[in-house]
Amino acid sequence: MDYPHRRYNPLRREWVLVSPQRTARPWQGEVSGASGFSAVHYDPDCYLCPGNRRAGGVVTPQYDSVYIFDNDYPALLPNAATGVLETPAGGRTELLVAEPERGRCHVICFHPDHSLTLARMELISIRRVVDAWMEEYRLLGEEFRYVQIFENRGAMMGASNPHPHGQIWATEHVPNEPAAETAALEEYHRAHGSCLLCDYARHELNESARVVCENDSFLAVVPWWAIWPFETLVLAKRHLRSLLDFGEAERDGLADLLKQVTTRYDNLFETSFPYTMGFHQAPCDGRPHEEWHFHAHFYPPLLRSATVRKYMVGFEMLGMPQRDITPESAAERLKGVVGEHFLDRDS
């Protein structure tokens, strides 16, 4: 489709505007490089490197694998006040509503080597991260209703430190995005008697136009409804509600797929590709959530080069999201880059 059209996102029950006619050649123009990688294996000024001092005088231990700790500047507190908040000065009204929110915020260091990223880590090291994510989801899910695992990669996406790490926030209530997906998945299951993302994964595998890479357990696609230029959706091929449903094959498969996707991102513009990545999985509220299907979202901002990004402004903030390159062309571009990381080609 080379004309303006809109595509429906069944997970959010929202639309995105696609305007492929705005650029006849999506990759034309200057392609500037910026490696974004650190050559330093240990940074004495990095508070996430082993042995260094963090906020409040806490010393990061000499860890040699995955290291998890309570965020020194958490957005949520486990002992936040409960009950009704102070009444607004103008009196109580349904238009001014607030309530307490308890939670925990953990930081997970993927590896002690400051220079690495998921794309540059060995599969066995990424597998250790997957195992740690699984255990965190289990433990935090015993106390809170939702566990959001995510990674902000790169300064462009607000990462305050280049050391390989992510975050895990556990919340008393299900946040907006997974709550919206829960409602959509439940409605689809009632209407069709099947899983929305199982059906979608089968369709993508049959059509293959938007499939970027896959293995026996997972596939990565540029979704039909993608908003960001090189957005990808990682889907479990089996109906798995959460990390707790993973067998050994799925744990290995997720590690492999994450490495495949992040390597292709880096190779696209030969840079440490920035993104926000996170898992969406069943809430921990005691319900069976048979409608839920484990998946991961990658939201990268880059558009044409290592330094040219997509901005969500104007019509996108006031109207609806809009993209110029089609998801099919983005998938073709990602699929076309070699699977070996560009920094390893000459090694």
Domains of the chain by start residue, with CATH: 11-20+37-77+98-337 (3.30.428.10)
Average pLDDT over residues 89-117: 89
Q: Would you say residue 11 has pLDDT above 70?
A: yes
Summarize pLDDT for 223-269 with one digit per residue, the tens: 999 999 999 999 999 999 999 999 999 999 999 999 999 999 999 99
Report whether 140 contacts 110 (CB < 8 A). Answer: no
Summarize pLDDT for 56-68 with one digit per residue, the tens: 889 999 999 999 9
Contacts (Cβ under 8 Å, ≥6 apart) of 336:
none
Greatest alpha-carbon span in the chain: 68
- DSSP single-letter state for residue 56: G
User: With bands split at pLDDT 50, 70 and 90, how would you rate the model's confidence at 331?
Assistant: very high
Report whether 278 contacts 148 (CB < 8 A). Answer: yes
- What is the per-residue pLDDT for 82? 55
- What is the per-residue pLDDT for 321? 92
CA angle 27, 262, 279 (to 5 degrees): 115
Half-sphere exposure of 163 (CA within 13 A, CB side): 25
- What is the per-residue pLDDT for 326? 94
Report whether 68 contacts 132 (CB < 8 A). Answer: yes
Q: Which residue has the higher pLDDT, 249 or 27?
A: 249
- What is the per-residue pLDDT for 38? 80
Range of weakest confidence among 28-32, 163-167, 191-195, 199-203: 28-32
Which one-letter amino acid corresponds to residue 43? D
| Helix (H/G/I), strand (E/B), else coil: 196 | helix
Distance set, CA 275 to CA 52, 69, 152, 212, 302 (Å): 27, 23, 6, 17, 9
Half-sphere exposure of 262 (CA within 13 A, CB side): 26
Summarize pLDDT for 283-324 with one digit per residue, the tens: 999 999 999 999 999 999 999 888 888 999 999 999 999 998
**173 is a catalytic site residue:** no
What is the spatial distance between Cα 78 and Cα 100, in angstroms, rounded to a whole number? 11
Q: Taking Cα atoms as reference points, which of 67, 292, 37 lies closest to residue 182?
A: 292
Q: Taking Cα atoms as reference points, which of 262, 233, 230, 261 lies closest to residue 330?
A: 230
Catalytic site residue from 106, 111, 163, 165: 165
Half-sphere exposure of 281 (CA within 13 A, CB side): 26
Q: Would you say residue 222 has pLDDT above 90?
A: yes
Residue whose tokens read 């009444």: 87
Bridge partners (DSSP) listed for residue 70: 106
Q: Would you say residue 34 has pLDDT above 80?
A: no
What global pTM score does this model have?
A: 0.93
